[in-house]
């Protein structure tokens, strides 16, 4: 059985007070949500502690947005596995296209971060996806297969989530057509040794397209940016029909 995981990626949004306001408004909205759906918030480091305290005892899990591969050391601005597990972090986003595009993340460092997360018992959410130019050049499949081959070297596929995030669909309102997302996710699954890895779709997921996305047989959840910042929007997403 593949686990359904609905994750919000807050990116660089919400200070602690705003995070607390969100949780208080969101919690009542999921009182009837199916227990088999895992809900995850990947929040800024500064909100992890307050979120951990306020999510304790709820069915919501906590995620971070980065992890360094060293246990500790002279890596200004980075964060270690033990710093995250001490707070109760369960998931971490690795290889998001914004990290790859703006912060020099490579498949090599993505691979190191994935293995570091697993070493600390944190489940990494590995993001892969193609640019618009690569899609137009019909390179989507080769790009993604190449990313997976490099990113997953010596990675344990029993403790892994993958998010297919076409870069042109992120924050653009231009969602990938759900059948096409389903097809690419099928291609990703073919590359895996463990066929039960949860594979999410991400890129302009909204309340008005979630039902169609989750109706696709290969899609096991979503990674949501913009629409995860509003409690009622994200509640509609986790309560998809």
Using the rule CB under 6 A, which residue among 89, 223, 235, 238 binds ligand PGA? 223
Active site residue 68: no
Of 63 and 81, the one with the shorter C-beta distance to ligand PGA is 63
Question: Is residue 225 within the footprint of ligand PGA (CB under 6 A)?
Answer: yes
- Number of residues engaging ligand PGA in binding (CB under 6 A): 13
What is the Cα–Cα distance from 237 to 228, expressed in whole angstroms?
9
- Taking the complex as a whole, the smallest distance from the CB of residue 27 to ligand PGA amounts, in Å, to 22
Closest CA to 185 of 151, 154, 145: 145
Question: Is residue 128 within the footprint of ligand PGA (CB under 6 A)?
Answer: no
Q: Which member of 38, 96, 98, 130 is catalytic?
A: 96
Of 116 and 223, the one with the shorter C-beta distance to ligand PGA is 223
Tokens standing for 47?
Answer: 């909100």
Cβ(173)–Cβ(204) below 8 Å: yes
Closest CA to 202 of 114, 136, 184: 184
Q: Can you tell me which residue has the tokens 């892969």?
A: 128
Which range touches ligand PGA (CB under 6 A), out of 66-74, 79-87, 146-154, 221-229? 221-229
Using the rule CB under 6 A, which residue among 205, 214, 219, 238 binds ligand PGA? 205
What is the Cα–Cα distance from 215 to 211, expressed in whole angstroms?
6
Distance set, CA 75 to CA 69, 138, 161, 167, 221 (Å): 10, 38, 26, 28, 33
Which range touches ligand PGA (CB under 6 A), out of 148-156, 181-189, 201-209, 231-239? 201-209
Other Cβ atoms less than 10 A from the Cβ of 4: the count is 19
Using the rule CB under 6 A, which residue among 4, 6, 9, 65 binds ligand PGA? 9
What is the Cα–Cα distance from 83 to 77, expressed in whole angstroms?
13
Question: Is residue 203 within the footprint of ligand PGA (CB under 6 A)?
Answer: yes
Active site residue 96: yes
Question: Is residue 226 within the footprint of ligand PGA (CB under 6 A)?
Answer: yes
Question: Is residue 233 within the footprint of ligand PGA (CB under 6 A)?
Answer: no
Of 80 and 147, the one with the shorter C-beta distance to ligand PGA is 147
Closest CA to 151 of 123, 130, 168, 127: 127
Query: Scanning residues 148 to 187, which ones bind ligand PGA (CB under 6 A)?
Result: 165, 170-171
Of 44 and 202, the one with the shorter C-beta distance to ligand PGA is 202
What is the Cα–Cα distance from 240 to 224, expressed in whole angstroms?
13
Q: Which residues bind ligand PGA (CB under 6 A)?
A: 9, 165, 170-171, 202-205, 223-227
């Amino acid at each position: 059985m593949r686990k359904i995981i609905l994750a919000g990626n807050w990116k660089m949004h919400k200070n602690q007070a705003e995070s607390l306001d969100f949780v208080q408004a969101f919690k009542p909205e999921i009182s009837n949500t199916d227990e088999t759906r895992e809900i995850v918030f990947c929040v800024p480091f500064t909100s992890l502690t307050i979120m951990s305290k306020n999510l304790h005892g709820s069915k919501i899990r906590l995620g971070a947005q980065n992890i360094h591969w060293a246990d500790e050391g002279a890596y200004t601005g980075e964060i270690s596995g033990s710093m995250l597990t001490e707070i109760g972090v369960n998931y971490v986003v690795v290889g998001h296209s914004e990290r790859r595009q703006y912060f020099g993340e490579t498949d090599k460092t993505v691979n190191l971060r994935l293995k570091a997360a697993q070493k600390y018992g944190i489940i990494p959410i590995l993001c892969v996806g193609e640019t618009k130019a690569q899609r137009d050049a019909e390179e989507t499949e080769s790009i993604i297969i190449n990313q997976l081959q490099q990113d997953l070297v010596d990675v344990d596929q029993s403790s892994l989530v993958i998010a297919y995030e076409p870069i042109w669909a992120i924050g653009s309102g231009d969602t990938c057509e759900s059948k096409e997302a389903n097809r690419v996710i099928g291609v990703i699954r073919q590359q895996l040794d463990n066929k039960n890895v949860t594979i999410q779709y991400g890129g302009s997921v909204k309340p008005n397209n979630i039902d169609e996305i989750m109706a696709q047989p290969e899609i096991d959840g979503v990674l949501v940016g913009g629409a995860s910042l509003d409690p009622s929007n994200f509640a509609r997403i986790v309560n998809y029909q």
